[in-house]
Structure 1
Amino acid sequence: MTADTSPLPVEPRLGHLLARVHARLARASALALARHGVDGQELAVLAVLACGEPLSQVEAAGRLGVDRTTMVALIDGLEDHGLVVRRRNVQDRRKNIVGLTPYGEECLRHAEGARLAAERRFLAPLGEETAATLLRALQVLVAEDRGRE
């Protein structure tokens, strides 16, 4: 018997599957968030800023894993829409602390609800137990990646 050396079809390759699933989830999330005037990245910024402790732009960027330039652009856009406000850090005047406005808090509540509902619809074909297992597995992989940084 000879070994089959023909290339595997694209479908069972992990990277390909993850990319396709991510694209579908991104589309579903974008549709759900559009009526709230934010996209997924902006919603992530609002969520990080709502963590309960004052954060500088640099600290928020670090938590999200985005570069400083991208964070400045995101904060500028959110500030232009009245969702966040910058203020000087009284302990270190070189830093800006970024916080949610009341409108930003309201937007976060509604948009996060829409995101969560879209995510539940997206995962529904898996069933609750399998969806929970998938989320836990992905969290393990993300934690593993953070340990290497």
Structure 2
Amino acid sequence: MNKYSLRTRLTTVALSLTLAFGGAAAVLPAQHASAATASEKSKIVSTAKRYIGVKYKFGASTSTTRYFDCSSFTKHVFKQIGTTLPRTSKEQSKRGSYVAKKNLQVGDLVFFYSPIHHVGIYIGNGKFIHTYGKPGVTVSSLTSGWWSDHYTTARRVA
């Protein structure tokens, strides 16, 4: 057996053992999201605020901006800075990296209820932008009141 053949076999065995005992995560990079740049943060907020007052519609198509549900809204806003998000708030809550409430930055996704079924975008100063019910796209407080009481977690995706 030549050196090349032995090296190939050892590499194959090592990779097989790594996958068997460590799973795919052992060879794939972890999913981490760094904070958005100042330019991206500004674009997230300005894009989101452009839709204040747009009506809410549960199950809204992601191909329209005439109305949104919470996750089609966040998906649309983040698409503008080149970040692709899944369709539902539950799936969006699995993206990026966890952020403690005290460490929120502009552009972080904030999630509500357990199990998660609402999402918004943190815009700074204890406020977030989201869409629901009659007000449609609106800004709400994250630091007091109903939304504060139902806050669950946050993720940094951009």
Query: TM bucket by the smaller chain?
Result: under 0.3
Higher strand share: 2
Higher helix share: 1
TM-score, normalization: structure 1? 0.23
**Max Rg structure:** 2
TM-score, normalization: structure 2? 0.22
